[in-house]
Amino acid sequence: MYQIIVENGQFEFYEFDSLIPERDNESFKNIQMKNSKMFSLDVVDKSGTLMYSYIRSGEIIPGVLILNGNRTYGKTENGKRNLYKCIPDNRELPAFLVPYDIKLGFSKDVKNKYVVIRFEHWNDKHPRGMILETIGDVNVMDAYYEYKLYCRDIHDSIALFTSKTRELVKLYGDVVNSILQNTKYNIEDRQDVLVYSIDPDGCTDIDDAFSIQPDGDGYKVSIYIANVFVFMEELKLWDQIEYRVSTIYLPDKKRTMLPAVLSENLCSLLEKQTRIAFCMDVYLNSTGQLMSKHEFKNVSIKVHSNFAYEEPKLLANKNYQMMLGLTRKMKSDINNSHDLVEYWMIYMNSKCGEQLALIQNGIFRTATIKENTDNKMSRIIRNWNDVSCKYVVFSNTENISHQLLKADTYVHITSPIRRLVDLLNQTIFIYHMNISEISESASKFVKDWTRKIEYVNKKTKSIRKVQTDCDLMTMCYNNPDIVAAIHPGVVFDQVIDKDGMFKYSIYLHDLRTFGKIRTDLNISNYSDANFKLYYFGDEYDSKRKLKFQII
């Protein structure tokens, strides 16, 4: 069995990859691919007979429908509809012909469109497709965002999940009270404690909150995390999360991992509402030293205030001032509310990681660095989800350290509304630390997803890529001067290609964005450099790209 690997849709460069390692592809050297009507990744036997085709099996194909100029390529078999060219985003695929009806209004300037198609047949010179969805015109940014989700295979609907959740919430009536009355969750009442949250202005999916209380000669600091587990468990929703592994934040809107009734209401730690949280208590003396072991439990709270970062009311709040002062004794470079939130989230992720490592369970966030970096550079790089950062299921043979954070064990557990891994770790932690019983459905959910951790890594990387690309494209669209300007930045993660060229990750300080460059220059990691942005598109706007160049 052999798989066809094509470099472009014109079959100018292609090869055969044997699916049986000991065999070679000598018998295929004389096959004329241009006339064979094969797609890249098609599987054939040694005679060249097609055995399997991803495209023919119904794989969706995002692409650009070429309507500008109204050039047609014949008609459908019944003669009723014109055929137009569609250029797939995947350059390994040839152009398709698809039927489409142009609706001419007052404007005769018809724009090309982002579409999603599916293969129909290849009976003629070009493969024929059928449009499944017309996303929008190529000059509309909202359509571009949606198209990029399809291109990276992360356009996953949660419509059924949303419908099911709404139905169950309506059936329950007061689901929060139902959970509070269920003794299996072991929920401690803390609704009289002054709790506050700190988030970006306008945030509605609030994952975390804080409280600080005098305790003898020291303090009791409590970190509260949205308890998504109890809602998934009570409403029996474990089988509803199928593909989306995190909330996706794009310039037009966010695509939530959970239905809005959960992410922006019941699970969100909204002020003046009774909410259920997963809590970590930290007991410290007046100098910020740990006095006793950490305690973890399910609690009910009523958040007093949802603050925005650095807003005047937050800065004047006595509890915030008390917590800021104590946190600075633990880490001297805590300058503002951003630093404070980051410190305590990392702290809780680390401490929960230590506990999960002791019971040899959980999903860990690992990162490796090639050489030492200063604190400022480390902070920049740890916001970069490149290939050196990944999730791994606990194993005695697996390296689970997070070198960027200088942590032997580190998990993601503080954002369960936004990330699937955090929900998995929250569920694992609550069960194995004997905080609550869990159902067989919850146990199956954890087992099924831990087996698919590479899928989670792949999707997480794709989501980060789309978010970065869309943010940068939007900045350039709204401010064309960005393309003409020179941007200071830094290079890191040097890789040498087979042809001797160098590849780097880069960070642009003024744009606060990451990217990749390829150059013949040999530059030391973490060197300062200046960069320019260049916009690349083809005659059809089927590929919009921004590329960086070092100058």
Query: pLDDT tens across 214-245, in order?
Result: 999 999 999 999 999 999 999 999 999 999 99
Burial class (CB in 10 A: 0-12, 13-18, 19+), 508: buried
**According to the model, what pLDDT value does residue 248 have?**
98
Ordered per-residue pLDDT tens for the chain, 551 residues:
667 766 655 555 555 555 555 455 455 554 555 457 888 888 888 777 888 898 999 899 999 999 998 899 999 999 999 999 999 999 899 999 999 999 876 567 889 999 999 999 999 999 999 999 999 999 899 999 999 999 999 999 999 999 999 999 999 999 999 999 999 999 999 999 999 999 999 999 999 999 999 999 999 999 999 999 999 999 999 999 999 999 999 999 999 999 999 999 999 999 999 999 999 999 999 999 999 899 999 999 999 999 999 999 999 999 999 999 999 999 999 999 999 999 999 999 999 999 999 999 999 998 766 555 556 666 666 555 444 688 999 987 666 676 556 667 999 999 999 999 999 999 999 999 999 999 999 999 999 999 999 999 999 999 999 998 999 999 988 898 998 899 999 998 889 988 899 999 899 999 988 888 999 999 998 899 999 998 876 555 556 678 899 98
DSSP3 helix / strand / coil % (the chain, rounded to 5): 30, 30, 40
**According to the model, what pLDDT value does residue 536 have?**
74
| DSSP codes, 393-458 | E--TTS---BGGGTBSS-B--S-TTTBHHHHHHHHHHHHHTTS----HHHHHHHHHHHHTHHHHHH
Q: What is the DSSP letter of 238?
A: G
Angle 94-143-85 from CA coordinates, rounded to 5°: 25
Query: pLDDT tens across 80-109, in order?
Result: 999 999 999 998 999 999 999 998 765 678
Q: Give the alpha-carbon dihedral of 43, 44, 46, 47, to 10 degrees.
A: -170
Long-range contacts of 288-292 (CB under 8 A, 24+ apart): 288/326, 288/327, 288/329, 288/330, 291/218
Query: Six-digit token pair at 315?
Result: 């800065």
Distance, in Å, from the CA atom of 491 to the CA atom of 524, rounded to the nearest integer, reads 8
CATH of 61-139, one of 2.40.50.700, 1.10.3720.10, 3.40.605.10, 1.20.1070.10: 2.40.50.700
CATH number of 479-550: 2.40.50
Place of tokens 């809590």: 279
Pinpoint the residues of the chain covered by CATH 2.40.50.700.
61-139
- Pairing state of beta strands 295-308 and 195-199? parallel
Name, in order, each residue with C-beta under 8 angstroms of 47's C-beta and a sequence gap of 6 or more: none
**According to the model, what pLDDT value does residue 329 have?**
98
Helices 440-451 and 453-478, interaxial angle, to 10°?
70
Strand partners, 219: 214, 284
**According to the model, what pLDDT value does residue 545 have?**
76
**According to the model, what pLDDT value does residue 351 have?**
97
